[in-house]
Amino acid sequence: MRIVFIGDIFGRSGREALQAHLPKIKDELNPDVIIVNGENAANGAGITEKICKEFYEWGVDVITTGNHVWDQREIIPYITRDEKLLRPINYPTGSPGSGVYRFRIADGRTITIVNAMCRLFMDAMDDPFAAMNKLVGEERLGQNTNAILLDFHGETTSEKMSMGHYMDGKVSCVIGTHTHIPTADAQILPGGTAYMSDAGMTGDYVSVIGVDKDIAMNRFIKKMPGERFRPSSGEATLCGALIVVDENTGLAKAIEPIRIGGSLRPEWPSA
């Protein structure tokens, strides 16, 4: 099974990059499923129904989010109707939407996509480790699902790496989001789980994590409120990864970074 995961879509430039580069990704990488994190797609804060539908039209199969999922209030009623739009599974009981979706490929194979959120330097949340432990007791690799991918959304590499090792051999891939910087640690862990601390942002990297650099810098330099943050509008780099999974065991055979366009050095999978 071939899975493409694309990191945080940031603002208009990120959306434009996604639309522009998805045809190449589909034609050359031949993915069975395409997953994107869309929590910053609407002007850098949240996502809307219109944007979700555009993503699906372009070829996205499932959308994950994170701590900005509710920034656009219109998404609250919509997420209850769209089971392919996820919010973190460790949100409190009763929160709208779901944190897990089992996607069925046309040939009958399935991949379970999970969204969870870290707790260090983030909003207070239920325990993501307990939530994942419960989930892998129900979704079992090679038995009732062919693959499991976790988008683990958070600030610290230590918490993400801990989840990677905790889930090693129990899920196909643990891939981080939220920091908007792609990491160079894509690897297969000893138990067969693919891991990457952060997929990176799909947005303009001549910025401060997607925000207009002058506005962001002035917050640090002047230590005073300034202009409202707005997304940088230059050419975006699409960042993500290709994960190749043995659908019989559910364990990963390869994980390779994807970087296309914009100012970062390009990376293209060989698998």
Establish if 104 belongs to a structural domain: yes
Establish if 37 belongs to a structural domain: yes
Quick check: 223 pLDDT over 90? no
| Exposed/middle/buried for residue 249 (C-beta within 10 Å: 0-12, 13-18, 19+) | middle
Give me the half-sphere count of Cα atoms (radius 13 Å) on the Cβ side of residue 74.
Answer: 8
The pLDDT value given to residue 225? 79
Gyration radius of the chain's alpha carbons = 17
pLDDT per residue as tens digits for the range 157-189: 999 999 999 999 999 999 999 999 999 999 999
The pLDDT value given to residue 41? 97
pLDDT per residue as tens digits for the range 76-122: 999 999 999 999 999 999 999 999 999 999 999 999 999 999 999 99
Please indicate whether residue 165 is annotated as part of the active site.
Answer: no
Of 237, 115, 132, 259, the closest CA to residue 186 belongs to 259
The pLDDT value given to residue 140? 92
Residue 200: pLDDT band with limits 50, 70, 90 = very high
Structure tokens at 54: 């555009």
Domain of 162, CATH number, reads 3.60.21.10
Longest Cα–Cα distance of the chain, Å, equals 57
Quick check: 211 pLDDT over 90? no
Question: Residue with structure tokens 């994950």?
Answer: 64
Domain containing 139: what range?
A: 2-260
Quick check: 63 pLDDT over 80? yes
Establish if 271 belongs to a structural domain: no
Task: Please tell me the distance from the alpha carbon of residue 138 to that of residue 241, in angstroms, as a whole number.
Answer: 26
Establish if 130 belongs to a structural domain: yes
Establish if 204 belongs to a structural domain: yes
Residues 6+ apart with CB under 8 A from 175: 5, 149, 150, 151, 152, 194, 195, 196, 199, 241, 243
Quick check: 226 pLDDT over 80? no
Establish if 131 belongs to a structural domain: yes
Query: Cβ(73)–Cβ(100) under 8 Å?
Result: no
- The secondary structure of residue 91, as a DSSP letter, is S
Q: Which of 21, 68, 178, 180 is catalytic?
A: 68
Question: Residue with structure tokens 């009732």?
Answer: 144
Establish if 163 belongs to a structural domain: yes
The pLDDT value given to residue 227? 79
The pLDDT value given to residue 142? 87
Amino acid at 73: R
Quick check: 222 pLDDT over 90? no
Please give the tally of structural domains in the chain: 1
Establish if 267 belongs to a structural domain: no
